[in-house]
Amino acid sequence: MVIELSTSFAMRCPTCGRLDVHRLNVFNLAGGEPLEYYCECGSHKATIERKGSKYINIRYYCIICDLEHNMILPHNIFWSKNHLNSLICLDTELNLGYFGPEKKIMAELDRQREELNSMANELGFDEFADPEIMLEILDYLHDVAAEGGLFCECGNHEISIELYTDKLELTCSICGSSQQLAASCKEDLYQLKGMDDVIIKLPKGKPKSSKNPEVKY
């Protein structure tokens, strides 16, 4: 009987948002040295290493809470051929990626893609240059706003969003200042995810508020 100990894991880059599926087997960890995984953009995504003789340790950066999480697993779970496991934010329990059999990972990614396309069609997103990119950008802006990172230089956090075919426009509900964000391709999504905060700039000559917005880092 041949027993193959291999697995895969999929994780979005915390900097640019690119999703890659990485493959590894038991021999990759045989020397005791940790495996470091990087995105094509150069950002570090995760470290996988042996923890003694019975456990595997996964360290991965979480874009949600801006911390590195540790997950220690028994060998039989990490190398399981039957189960798809999630990499989660340990504070919010939101999903950051998966590890397990590659076929199950690809099936889950296909399911999510179909779900996004179905949602896009129901909302009329099929009129956009790239409905999936527009949905991901809106989802990311929602997360940024929830953390207090979407605001106008005048100090206002109440921002309206108007959608166009290949872009969206953010408008301050107080001073009326606006800013457009491209939303037609992956590069637009990666550029947005490279921003710590999304700030609507005031036109030249318009005074800024003396009250600074409360921003969480």
> What pLDDT is attached to residue 216?
32
Reduced 3-state DSSP string for the chain: CCCCCEEEEEEECCCCCCEEEEEEEHHHHCCCCCEEEECCCCCEEEEEEEECCCEEEEEEEECCCCEEEEEEEEHHHHCCCCCCEEEECCCCCCEEEEEECHHHHHHHHHHHHHHHHHHHHHCCHHHCCCHHHHHHHHHHHHHHHHCCCEEECCCCCCEEEEECCCEEEEEECCCCCEEEEECCCHHHHHHHHCCCCEEECCCCCCCCCCCCCCCCC
Q: Which pLDDT score is estimated for 87? A: 87
pLDDT of residue 213: 40
**Whole-number average pLDDT of the chain:** 82
User: pLDDT per residue over 94-144, tens digit each?
Assistant: 788 899 999 999 999 888 778 767 766 666 666 778 877 888 888 888 888
* pTM score, whole prediction: 0.57
Has residue 167 got a pLDDT over 50? yes
